[in-house]
Amino acid sequence: MATRTQSTRADHKWGMVIDLDRCTGCQACVIACQSENNIPLNDQSAFLDGRAIEWIRVERYWEGDYPDIKARFLPVLCQHCDNAPCESVCPVYATYHNNEGLNVQVYNRCVGTRFCGNNCPYHARLFNYWEPVWPEDLRNQLNPDVTVRTRGIMEKCTFCIQRIRRSTRGGKQVEDQAFNPACVQACPTDAMTFGDLNNPDSRVSQKWEDERAFRVLEALGTNPSVKYLKQVDAHA
């Protein structure tokens, strides 16, 4: 597929498929991401202020009318768009597309104009309004592979780039499913699949072609690297 691989130089093109028919909305992915990526604890006030930082969040919406009503869940993370609206508006190249199909955020370059946040239709980009703090007894659980972000900069899901780097360092060949981002690893219902879309045999490549597959806000033409699977039930 032409749309799948814009970056041809690299060996990899990372992508994800999320099966919404399997998602139970348990939020395990949210917690896993939180601890893997050194995201400060979101207490009640962070949510009330509208400043909670969640690289992946589970959006809940309702289908049908009471009493025949169903809760539906949609885990939303950075879609790593191949045609990312956030990238072209950053004046300092703090966010750009790397040749593995990742939309990467360079914290040291970021000056905090927040234009990328405005331009992301998925609300995947988050701003550090305060200096991050952790309770004393949680200090030692910080992941040494992940930068602790200072206040005043944007951050977002990286597809756990630290795990990608560690596994592929020095051009090492990796087998499919040899590693996964924290959210995928934590998913109890196996709803999320991560892998290399350039490898036609990978699990993610196979699910990518599933007839239930769709992309969110596809009409915007952002060409995301994340697809969702959902059985459309005409009688729901």
Partner 1 sequence: MYYRRTLTDAQINRELLDVVFRTPMWWVVIVSCLGLIVAGAASAFGFMMNQGLGVTGLQQPIFWGFFITNFIFWVGISHAGVMISAILRLSQAEWRRPMVRAAETMTVFALMTSLLQPLIHAGRPWRIFYWVFPYDWARGIWPDVRSPLVWDPTAIITYLTSSSLFVYTALIPDLAIIRDRSTGWRRTVYGILALGWHGNPRQWKLQGIAGILLSALILPVFVSVHSIVSWDFGVSLVPSWHVTVFAPYFVIGAVHSGVSAVVTLMILMRKLYKLENFIWEEHIDAVARLLIVVATAWLFFFWLDLVFALWLKEEQEMTVWHLRLFEPPWSWLFLAFIVFSYIIPVPLWMFRRVRRSFTWMLWTSLMVNVGMFLERLIIIVPALMRKGPWVFTYDTYRPSAVEVTLIVGSIALVALLLMLFSKFFPLIPVWEEKEGQKLIDEVKVGDRVIPALVKEH
Smallest gap from Cβ 16 to partner 1, in A, equals: 17
Say if residues 34 and 142 touch (Cβ distance below 8 Å).
no
Stretch that binds partner 1, among 51-59, 198-206, 207-215, 224-232 (CB under 8 A): 51-59
Residue 178 binds to partner 1 (criterion: CB under 8 A): no
**CB under 8 A: which stretch of 88-96, 138-146, 158-166, 186-194 binds partner 1?**
88-96
Q: Which residues contact 201 (CB under 8 A, 6 or more apart)?
A: 176
3-state secondary structure of 86: helix
Q: Which residue has the tokens 């040291």?
A: 108
**CA–CA separation, 43 and 32 (whole Å):** 16
Q: Which residue, 46 or 213, is less far from partner 1 as judged by CB? A: 46
**The tokens 């590693």 sit on which residue?**
179
Q: Is 92 in the site for partner 1 (CB under 8 A)?
A: yes
Would you mind telling me the total number of residues written for the chain in this entry? Answer: 236
Half-sphere exposure of 186 (CA within 13 A, CB side): 18
Across the chain, where does the E strand assignment appear? 14-19, 56-65, 68-77, 95-97, 103-105, 126-127, 154-155, 192-196, 213-214, 226-229
Task: Report the residue number, 47 or 177, with the smaller CB distance to partner 1.
Answer: 47
For residues 54 and 68, give the distance between their C-alpha atoms in angstroms, rounded to a whole number. Answer: 31
Q: Does 41 bind partner 1 (CB under 8 A)?
A: no
Q: Which of 84, 91, 164 is nearest to 125 (CA)?
A: 84
Of 3, 67, 91, 141, the one binding partner 1 by CB under 8 A: 91
Q: Which of residues 126-155 bind partner 1 (CB under 8 A)?
A: 126-131, 150-154
Binding to partner 1, residues 194-223 (CB under 8 A): 217, 220
Distance between CA atoms of residues 51 and 45, nearest Å: 8
70 SS3 class: strand
Query: Which residue of 4, 97, 114, 230 would you call a contact of partner 1, by CB under 8 A?
Result: 114
Decide if residue 119 touches partner 1 (CB under 8 A): yes
Check residue 115 for interaction with partner 1 (CB under 8 A): yes
Verify binding: residue 191, partner 1, rule CB under 8 A: no
Nearer to partner 1, 188 or 221 (CB): 221
Q: Is 88 in the site for partner 1 (CB under 8 A)?
A: yes
Three-state DSSP at 4 gives coil
Min CB(163)–partner 1 separation in Å: 26
* Residue (131 or 209) nearer to partner 1, CB: 131
The residues of the shown chain that bind partner 1, judged by CB under 8 A, are: 49-52, 59, 76, 85, 88-93, 109-115, 117-119, 121-123, 126-131, 150-154, 217, 220
